[in-house]
Structure 1
Amino acid sequence: MKFPKFKDIILFEDEDIIIVNKPPFLSSLDEREGKEISLLKMAKQYVEDAQVCHRLDKETSGLLVVAKNPEAYRHMSILFERRRVNKIYHAIVDGTHVFEDLLVDLPILNVGKGNVVISRGEGKRAETWFRSLEYFKHYTLLECRPVTGRMHQIRIHLATQRASITGDKMYGGQPAFLSKIKRGYKLTDEEEQPVMKRFALHARQLSFVKPNGEEITIEAEYPKDFAVLLKLLRKNDV
């Protein structure tokens, strides 16, 4: 896949950190094979000592913090560890759901090979708050505020509420097809492609104290595929 240049995805930069709007399908860190381009590789070409401070799933788009030096990396690691980074994600989910600051507090166990399960006995504490932002006939736009940072946390927590993220096959989400959204849409003989070729999750906002002591709140625009799906829903699925 062709990705934009690193400097073109930078939303904020100072002497310590860079905040980027990660495009979908780009790995945060190097994968085991090591051949694919990753955000870390791109960052290191831009700043030699760059370190990615947290990670997003490959398909998830949005805000990611990169440290430019070891001191900044240490500072950011402590903030994430102590849950002093406020994170807001937006997700489009299957079905209409009214969540008014719903807290899902279900422990998550990492069972390896990129799989997690809910396990009250062995899982690690995991908490996410959910709030409905916009309702459609077949979908809902949600705000997701994870307190902890477990792998696949938002995705599996939503699945437990029967509100799987659209396109998230791993957790029961269905792909969004134009034929489902648009009334009278005529199918051709070709196999219909989903509007988004990934699950609809975007890291929308981050707030934290920078290494220099200043507070920052930053927001990332939706990538094209997320914005297109939302536009189609607003026009046709009401």
Structure 2
Amino acid sequence: MSEDTASSARPDRIVTAAVLLIGNEILSGRTKDANLGYIAQRCTELGIRLIEARVVADDEAAIVEAVNALRARVNYLFTTGGIGPTHDDITADCIAKAVGRPLIEHPEARALLDAHYGDKINPARLRMARTPEGAALIENPVSTAPGFRIENVHVLAGIPTIMQAMFESLAPGLVGGAPLLSRALEVDLPESVIAGVLTDAQAAFAETLDIGSYPFARGGGFGVSVVLRSTDGDTLQRGLDTVANGLRGLGGTVEERV
């Protein structure tokens, strides 16, 4: 899918995104990812539905395959990691291969790095100026070295503070659809007891409402959090009332949670 260029929301349609987390350090457990949650929350706030996330190693074939699979399905693909100065930072190379563009030293990125490092610029730091031909830079107000955007692929840093700053520089230009609203209920009954109520409610509201159930254990007791999501506030309220009434009919104590 191609990227939109307008910056206003499009409440008449669904806008989707995916996230590709790149790095051996995530898969080894040495680095605990903090980027997926941030992007997911910000996408929701912007009216963009995150529909998939993947983690891949620093492996060219794996990255290229994942980029091409994901970018074909969504309006926005966000990648994190692999754009630093070391030999295993191969994301720029892989994105160039995925989109069929030559990898170049971006003149604006080179100028930024020259100004930032001065006479301390070296070949390793210049690796951070490489982008596919035709890419637009993504501002990095934290440490200067930019991310980049090519077609609907947005390439961000892996360090959370830098990734967040890059994402926020992008946010005003991202085109969202109708914001996805959510409400949550908690009930002191097991999933096996309430499954029928949820199934019937989901069928009644078809594709206008999404209902999910998430068991919890708390204070020695068990229960289920039921989360309802819709782009329409009236539908969401009607769905909430339907589910709450059904759960109370089973003898459960039901509370709405923020």
TM-score by length of 1: 0.25
Rg comparison, structure with higher value: 2
TM-score by length of 2: 0.24
